[in-house]
Every structure is written in C-alpha cells, then in structure tokens.
Structure 1
Amino acid sequence: MIPEDSRFQSDPDLVIRNEIGSPPGLPPGWEIGTPDPSDRFEVARLTHLLRAHERHGRGWAASGVDDVLVEVSEQGLRMRENVVVRDHKGEIRAWGSVHDRSVGRMLFVHIVDRDLAGDVARCCSDVLVDWAVGQARAVGAARGLEVQQIDTGAFADDDRQHLWLTEAGFEKVRTWWQMNRPVTPDEADLTGHPEHWEKDGVVFRLVRRSGSGMPDEADLRAVHDVLEGAFVDHFNSSEETFDEFLFRLREDPGHTWDHWWLAELTDGGETQPVGALVGTVSESSSGPDGSYVSYLGVLEAARGRGVAKGLLRTIIADAAGRGRDRVGLEVDADSPTGASGLYTSMGWQTKYVTESWHRDVTVDPES
C-alpha cells in the first residue's frame, strides 16, 4: 500500500546536519529549505531551473509547470521530498528531489543553476547530494533495508553533472536511447480499430471501462502483473506493489486511461494476458501533441508471437487517428534482448541519450 505518511525526513537542515555534522559551507546569507508549491513564483523558478538544465544537457527544453508539480505538490509528497538552496536574496539556485520509487530504489533529481560560479555551484551540488544520502538512509531504514540505492540520471553530454556525480561516489551504470518515430495520418489504418483488434491469435485491446468511466480493476492488475513479470530479469528491476504502480503512473502529467492496452493470447479458447503497453500524451506548445510509450512488456512465454510489434502498431495507429505526429519511447542501449532492433526496424530513431548513475548507501535499519 502507499504510505499515508512519507518515509522521508521533512527537515532538510536536520538531514544535512546528521549526514555531515557541520554547516554545508554555502556563501553568507544562503539558506537550505523546502519549496512552497502554493507560491506560483517559486514554482515558476523551479520550472525555469529545470528547463535550463534540459537545454544545456540536450539542446532544448520540454518540461513545464505540471512536471514540477508532480515533484513538489502535496499529493506528490506522499512519495517524495524536496530541498532547495536559496541565495541571500531568497532566490532558489539549486533544487533536489527524491522519490521513494520501489523497494531499494530511490530516484534523485539534481539541478543546479547554470549561471552560478563554479565553486558556488559545486557547493550547492554537494548540499543536494549530502541531503539525498541522508534521505536514502531514512527511507531505507523505514523499509527495513541494509542498503538503499540512489538512482539519478544525467544527459550524455552534461560533463559538469558527470564530474559531480563521479566525485560524489556515483557510478554510471546504464545508457538509454531516447527514441522518436514520426507518425503520418494514413497510419490510422495500420491496424484494425486500436481499441480492439486481433491478429494471429492475439487480441489487442484497451483496458475495459466501467459505466463511470473508470478502468476495470482486474484489467489494471493484469497490466501490472504482466509488466512485473516481463521486467523481472531486466536491469535494475525492483518489486513495486500494485498500489505504488498505480499511484505513480497516475501522477504523470500525460496520464490518460485510454492509452492503456493489453495483449491477450486466445489459444484453446481461453484468454491469457501476455503483453501490456502504457502510453501517455506528450503535449506540445508549438505543434501537434505526440504519444509516448511509458511501458511495454511481453511475458517470456509469448515472445515470438508478434505481441510487442502489435502493441507498437496499436499506439502508432491510435496516435495517427488523434492527429498526432510522433510516438516516443526509451530503450536500454545495453540490453541483451535486442529490443532496439525492433524499434529501429519500425522507424524509431535516437533523438538524444541519457544515462543512469547509481550510488549504494549503507543503512542502519534500527535507526
């Protein structure tokens, strides 16, 4: 179940004092605190920092206010905690966010103002990392773990971030291709109706909806079970409960129930869920929206039946029918499964590259 109370420590000063035992060495008048999600100016400042971080790392910005609110809103704080560094004028110059993602895995967002001088920027980075390590100990202890992983990301071309993470004890563990595929209007006919179609004994359909418009819980559990089973042997897989899974995906600004599909085998007259695709909407301020493949999984027993390709064709046809011009996804560049070959064969191309960096933190479960 999702905890009613956060597993994190809410006082950033206490976390940092416990971690380093001394003041963090910020310039005079600079302070550590938490952002106020009700203050539109602070939310705008966080959005500015995030977009500048993206522009430097990959050449353009895509995030907006909704992406920030996922991290800092009252609802988000059930599974997250945030820290900011304010300068002597009270302006936020650095922002860290941690997410209690699943057992043993804590995500860490690490953003420092690109306009800061080198020594001050580095000091801000150290504060964010020390705070994240302290939070890792807190959430790991609350879960009764001996080791808590911190999982953070970086753009492949962000040398400043790479240096800071390396010196803070993080290790680059994976490379990810962020891929995009153009969609044309005629591809609306790529499948039968994307809500429900069948090929070679496999049915592809949207999750069922009740009269109230809410999705059928049995279908949602089937999606969760398929994805848990499909990714059990994949890189950095960790167990996530159904409630954690559902809560997290509903937070996504692009979430919509009519982008959740199941693939079922109909062999022998019985239906068996063997594949799932969870999609989201990628909104654009300067053109058509796009679709995004957040999750695509196929159970091992059904591989080779065209399930993954069928699900991808489904979201392409759905996007075309909605007047969208692209479908994006992320693929593990180091995966031995060869999934990237399927994507490239269907027209996906790498748009930019990101990396996963990890640090394991020793936890005292009794603390």
Structure 2
Amino acid sequence: MRTPEGLTSRPLVMSDARAVYEVMAAQEQEDLGSVEIEEADIVGDWGRPSFDVSAQTVGVFDSVDGNDTLVGYAEVTSADRGDAAVHPAYRGRGIGTELAHWMQAKARERGAPVIGMPVPVGSPGDRLLESLGYEVRWHSWVLQLPEGVSIVERPLPDGYEVREADPSEYTAVHDVVEDAFLEWSDRDRESYEDFESVVVRRPGFEPWHLRVVVDDSGEVVGVACLSVFEPEDDRDREAFVSRLAVRRDQRNRGLAQALLVDAYGRARDHGVMTGGLSTDSRTGALGLYEKVGMRVIMDWVNRAKTL
C-alpha cells in the first residue's frame, strides 16, 4: 500500500498483536472515552485456522527513536468484513484512506463483492467511510447490565436444565450457535476449529464461560458464551456474552432469559459484577434485552462499499 512520506508498511505477524491492540485501544479511548478491545480478542481472531495473518493484514509504521512503531493497521477478517485503526496522533495524514483502499483491493483479490467494517456512530472513522462512499448495512448496539441490576428469572420448562457445558458438548454448542446465527447473517458457516480458537482457546477462557440449556433428553438447545473483559485501567471487570442462541424449535419458552440470568449470576459468583453484550438490527433482539433491564451504552454502524 501507499504510505504518507516518512512512514512504511508491511504485512503483520502474530507477534504484532500487542501493537495492534495498543493502536486500537488508543483509537477507542479517543472516540469512545473507554477501551473496549482486549489483546485476547486479537489473539483469538488471528489464531483461527481460516485466517492467514500475513496475507490478510497490513501495518503502517513510523520510526520512533530508531524503532519501527505501529501507527495504523487494517485486516480483511472474512469474505466481506475487515477492521482498521489509526492512532489518534497520526490522524489527518491520509493513513485511514490508504488503509481503506488496501482493504478494498485485498477483498477484490479474495473474490468478495463488498467490503465493510464496524465504526462508532459519528466517529472520525464513520465520517471517513461515508466520504469514501461506504453505506450503512446495519446498526449495532452495545448494552450493559449495570452492577446491582438483576434480570428477572423465568422458570424453565419441566425437564430442562441450565448449566456449564461439558467439553464433550462443545461441538453441539457450536452447532446451535451457527444454526441460529445463519438465520439472519449472510456469511459462510464458521468451522468448529475457528469457533474453538475465538471461544475455547481465547486467552482467559475458563470452562464456566460456556453455559447451556439442555432438554429432558440431555440435548443442548440453548447456548450463552461468556468472556470476561479484564481492563488494563482501573475500570471494573465485565462479563460479556459474546454469543447467545436458542434452537429455533425451542424459542418462546424463556430459555434465552434463563441463560442470561445464569451467565451473569455465575459471573457475579466469580467477582465480575457488570454484564454486557452486543446485538444488531438484523436480529431484532434489542427490545428483548432492554425489556430485561439492559441499557444501550454504545451505538455502532457497519458501513460497506460495493467493489
């Protein structure tokens, strides 16, 4: 990719994950007033067997005190989605525009008809992508269950149980999640190996993070996947439900609500008092989460450009 004068670029490698986290954290702190990303998120994503780090990423570097320092990065994460960040101190130099052009070229190279990425509403990234012809595909929201607020419990149907998933059930967990998500998400089915990388092998994973509802035959019919956000500043830890799914034929029985009650309850047993999750306009689930006491704290859009 072309870089502004004095800067260089190269493909990234796994050992660059920390530097990418630092750039993304600086951008989020500037745009959101808080850091929502963890290095573990990047390590988990880049560890997917389907992801080739050096083939699907690029970094922009400045020489600071004789050392190359990452100041911007981009990746094409999957067929039609990417991500990018520019350190706030380097904004206004055209780095974001060149990263967007690199993402478009990389997506074309991979045969994708469109490329998009999530950005906070009204942020510099949102305004830049709009100026480059990116249109809104969908809205998404981050919600929080504040400390001290509990979701009202709903009794499970007779014979059903909510509990920690057994490792022998992990493939069933993956199947329930993918079957549910592919009802509204236009993408290829995620492999179990990729799921394992971003959930089970994500740094910090503990077995209690995977919660399931099983029916009277012992079959997994609902899933909640937790990750515990460990901020590097003095903010409180947060239990984030990254995936929540109930099998189609088991819905409208209160299973999703029971999973949320269980997940956040177990988190509080482990000293994590705040809960969170995200949803988007494709799922139609925002009202459900607000109804059980969660509140929207961030508003994002996914902007995309036809190639």
Q: TM-score range by the shorter chain?
A: 0.7 to 0.9
- Aligned partner letter, 2:205: H
Answer with 1 or 2: which has the greater Rg.
Answer: 1
C-alpha separation in 2, matches of 1:311 and 1:335: 21
**Equivalent pairs: percent with the same residue?**
21
Q: Are 2:161 and 1:203 equivalent residues in the alignment? A: yes
**TM-superposition CA deviations, 1:222-260 (whole Å, max 9, x none):** 111111221222143532122222223345444333211
Assess, with a 3 A threshold, how the Cα gap between structure 1 residues 198 and 288 changes in structure 2: closer, same or farther. Answer: same
Task: Work out which of the residue numbers 86, 99, 108 in structure 2 matches 1:137.
Answer: 108
Question: 1:303 maps to which residue?
Answer: 251
* Residue of 87, 102, 117 corresponding to 1:113: 87
Q: Which amino acid aligns with 1:96?
A: A
Taking the aligned partners of 1:304 and 1:189, their CA distance within structure 2 comes to 16
* Matching residue within 343, 349, 364 for 2:295: 349
- The reply on whether 1:97 has 2:47 as its aligned counterpart is no
Query: Aligned with 2:110: secondary structure?
Result: helix
What's the counterpart of residue 141 of structure 2?
177
SS of aligned partner of 2:90: coil
For structure 1, the residue ranges without an aligned partner over 5 or more in a row are 1-15, 17-23, 141-146, 192-196, 209-214, 362-367
State the AA in 1 paired with 2:105: G
Q: How high is the TM-score relative to the length of structure 2?
A: 0.84
1:45 Cα deviation after fit: 4.8
> Partner of 1:342: helix, strand, or coil?
helix
Q: Tell me whether 1:249 sits opposite 2:199 in the alignment.
A: yes
1:50 maps to which residue?
Answer: 24
Contact 1:184 1:320 in 2 (8 A): no
Match of residue 33, structure 1, among 10, 14, 17: 10
Q: What does residue 226 of structure 1 align with?
A: 176
Give the drift of 1:54. 0.2
Number of residue pairs matched by the alignment: 300
1:82 pairs with one of 45, 50, 57: 57
Q: Deviations over 1:134-186 (max 9, x none)?
A: 3223333xxxxxx344231101130x21232123342211111100102449x
Distance 1:98-1:202 versus aligned 2 partners, 3 A rule: same
Task: Look up the SS of the partner of 2:75 in the other structure.
Answer: strand
Q: Equivalent residues in 2 for 1:264-303 (5 A)? A: 264-266=214-216, 270-285=217-232, 286=234, 288-303=236-251
Partner residue, 2:98: 127
| 1:297 CA displacement | 0.7
Q: Structure 1 residues 64, 295: CA separation in 2 closer, same or farther (over 3 Å shift)?
A: closer
Helix, strand or coil: the match of 1:166?
helix
Question: TM-score w.r.t. structure 1 length?
Answer: 0.72
Checking the alignment, whether the CA contact within 8 Å between 1:43 and 1:68 is kept in structure 2 is yes
Q: C-alpha distance in 1, partners of 2:151/2:271? A: 9
Deviations 1:37-87 (Å, cap 9, x if unpaired)? 54xxx7665443212210222112243544454567xx4686133212223
Deviation of residue 344 (structure 1)?
A: 1.6
Unaligned runs of at least 5 residues, structure 2: none
Quote how far apart the aligned CAs of 1:125 are. 1.7
Q: CA RMSD in A?
A: 3.0
- Amino acid aligned to 1:320: R
Match of 1:6 in 2: none
Q: Name the SS for the 1:115 alignment partner.
A: helix
